[in-house]
Structure 1
Amino acid sequence: MHVDASQAFGRIPLALDDVDAVTLAAHKIGGPVGVGALVVRSRCPLRPLTFGGGQEAGRRPGTQDVRGALAFAAAARAVCARLDDTRVVVSSRAQRLYDRLCAEGTGIVPTTTAQMGPDRLPGIVSVMTGRLDSETLVLKLDERGFEVSAGSACSSGSLDASHVLLAMGIPRELALGALRISFDERVSPQDLDRLADCLLGIVADAR
């Protein structure tokens, strides 16, 4: 069993007793872009995809980015040391953003009605509107200095609605207007308020 824990690492406690392999990404916790970690149990069969060197018991060729790995380790130590406190702060800011964006009459709804709690990933606010498509929302917010996403990076470039949202039973019209807002403790409440004001204005103008 392989788990992609890139979004969760450093944000919530990880329970990995039954996991054979886990993937982590440095840039999700303030580390360098392009650096990650693959943790694999010895019992897990792993065949190399590329050849030409004997590093890591023959699992990969090439030379490691040592400075990048050290920077990743430093970022990991820093975020894990204050995980509990940061989690409370970021979850509170996420709930406030949900409350503002999804207030009655805004035309914006959350993608899930699950309450913010210990099982909810802090710093990810996912909302939808049937008035504008995702790409239009992303471009309009980008013009105003806010970088958000229409969905996962894995599906960037796709103009169709998220298959995950459709499988959740969300109508296609709403799913086409999905927006994912990601942030951590370095993003201030004032920045989030400005984002909310901007997004609410964009959606209101589309009426």
Structure 2
Amino acid sequence: MPQTPEPAALALDRFPRVFQDDVVYAGNIGAAWAPGRVNLIGEHTDYNDGFVLPMAIDRVVAFAGRARHDTVVRLWSNHFSEYVELWLDGLPGTFESQRNSLPVWARYVLGVMTELARAGVQLSGFDAVIHGDVPVGSGMSSSAAIEVATAQACMLFSQGRFSIGTGGATLQPMQVAALCQRAEHI
């Protein structure tokens, strides 16, 4: 089992302090994360379906949280010190109305959830703290990291209803990558 990266450990530590309310959770606390990346060759050609040679870096975006018994998603961003609520009911139809009231970082999360809903994935609500050490706006794909971490978190908190690779409603890793790429552009 891979070692838990520091941002995930910090988010796990922060979760009980951020979400101190009477929610009855559907599962144990857990964490999901995805790394940033650098392109060794092909910088910016990936936007046009060009060829790149990327490499994962040791910086990640992590979600730490717990599944809920409803379809509400509550998120706290350590980086931006912002709290948002998203509603899974009605996705993808409610995407635009929810998107307009969200900060930019949360739009990536909603975009991935919308694309998962379009793919027929049954999502569960969850509460999570998001923490990362991928520098924003530095060419290390912080937006891709939050998108893939979102997909990983949705899988973790879906209580076995879908997975990446095997079991449940299965999405293959390349499908998840394409889904996250679409989410960035909706």
Q: Could you tell me the TM-score, scaled by structure 1's length?
A: 0.24
More helix by share: 1
Instruction: Report the TM-score, using the length of structure 2 for normalisation.
Output: 0.26
* Larger relative contact order (CA 8 Å, sep ≥ 6): 2
Decide which structure has the larger Cα Rg and report it.
1
